[in-house]
């Protein structure tokens, strides 16, 4: 399973943008980059995924480096409800359906 | 509303006992996976079922077993409970053609 590296923790202020980095230098050409987040006392929640191009949805944006060895999850205006552990996961197209979670990045949002 | 419901939410069992955890997936989600999450760690894949057949297994012993039913519900059974089995157990479902999984809120199992 391809591996990702994320900072253990990050801190942000409410209503400011947050950029959560993820390194995946061993990514293969068919790996999709997925992001999930886990709020306290809840199961993980799907946030966004992409392959090569940048992606936007109602929750966040995903910026993928041109060489695909890193990506950044962008929360445009952090709220207190965005405080969670964010996981960056590589998922092979047509491969195993399982998700391989690391320890993720714990995001703290200050009021 | 997550669409995936797990029961019970909390459970305390004694070492050596057996436990059954239940999950009700979203209608149409024919793939269900179970994960174990120890405190402070990311979830670890136990196994997955697709159309009632096991379709992949993580590094867990045979005393962890499962079932998936035609009504999109599933079970995780753990025999001969050990203290290290204390964890949050998560169920996740998806439709085969989509990319995102929907997780339940989990069952917190404590083995004493």
Residue A105: closest C-alpha in chain B: B42
Average pLDDT of every residue of chain B:
92
Q: What average pLDDT does the segment B60-78 reach? A: 95
CB contact under 8 A, A99 and B43: yes
How many residues in total does chain B contain? 112
Residue A77 burial (10 A CB sphere; 0-12, 13-18, 19+): exposed
Q: Which parts of chain A register pLDDT below 70?
A: 1-2, 94-96
What is the distance in angstroms between the Cα of A108 and the nearest Cα belonging to chain B? 15
Assess A50–B contact: CB distance below 8 Å, yes or no: no
Query: For B38-54, what is each residue's pLDDT tens digit?
Result: 998 999 999 999 889 99
Assess A96–B contact: CB distance below 8 Å, yes or no: yes
Q: Taking the alpha carbons of A4, B100, B7, B67 in that order, is the dihedral positive or negative?
A: negative
pLDDT for B55: 87
Lowest mean pLDDT among A52-61, B29-38, B96-105: B96-105
Q: What average pLDDT does the segment B55-71 reach? A: 94
pLDDT for B3: 87
Assess B36–A contact: CB distance below 8 Å, yes or no: no
Give every CB contact of residue A67 below 8 A, 6+ residues apart in sequence: none
Nearest in space to A93 (alpha carbons), one of B54, B28, B55, B99: B99
Task: Check if the beta carbon of residue A45 is closer than 8 Å to that of residue A101.
Answer: no
Nearest in space to B64 (alpha carbons), one of B55, B51, B77: B77
pLDDT for A96: 58
- pLDDT higher than threshold 80 for residue B109: yes
What is the distance in angstroms between the Cα of A84 and the nearest Cα belonging to chain B? 12
Assess B103–A contact: CB distance below 8 Å, yes or no: yes
What's the CA gap between A79 and A15, in Å, rounded?
6
pLDDT for B1: 42
pLDDT for B72: 84
């Amino acid at each position: 399973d391809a591996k990702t590296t994320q900072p253990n923790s990050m801190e942000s202020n409410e209503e400011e943008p947050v950029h959560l980095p993820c390194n995946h230098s061993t990514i293969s050409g068919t790996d999709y980059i997925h992001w999930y987040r886990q709020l306290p006392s809840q199961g993980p929640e799907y946030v966004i995924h992409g392959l090569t191009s940048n992606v936007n949805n109602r929750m966040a944006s995903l910026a993928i480096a041109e060489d695909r060895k890193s990506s950044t999850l962008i929360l445009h205006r952090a709220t207190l409800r965005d405080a969670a552990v964010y996981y960056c996961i590589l998922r092979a197209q047509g491969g195993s359906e399982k998700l391989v979670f690391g320890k993720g990045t714990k995001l703290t949002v200050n009021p | 509303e997550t669409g995936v419901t797990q029961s019970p939410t909390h459970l305390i069992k004694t070492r050596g006992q057996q436990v059954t955890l239940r999950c009700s997936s979203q209608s149409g989600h024919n793939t269900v996976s179970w994960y174990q999450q120890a405190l402070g760690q990311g979830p670890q894949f136990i196994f997955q079922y697709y159309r009632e057949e096991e379709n992949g297994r993580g590094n867990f012993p045979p005393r962890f077993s499962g079932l998936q039913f035609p009504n999109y519900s599933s079970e995780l059974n753990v025999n001969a409970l050990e203290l290290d089995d204390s964890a949050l157990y998560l169920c996740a479902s998806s439709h085969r053609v989509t990319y995102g999984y929907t997780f339940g809120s989990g069952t917190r199992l404590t083995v004493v």
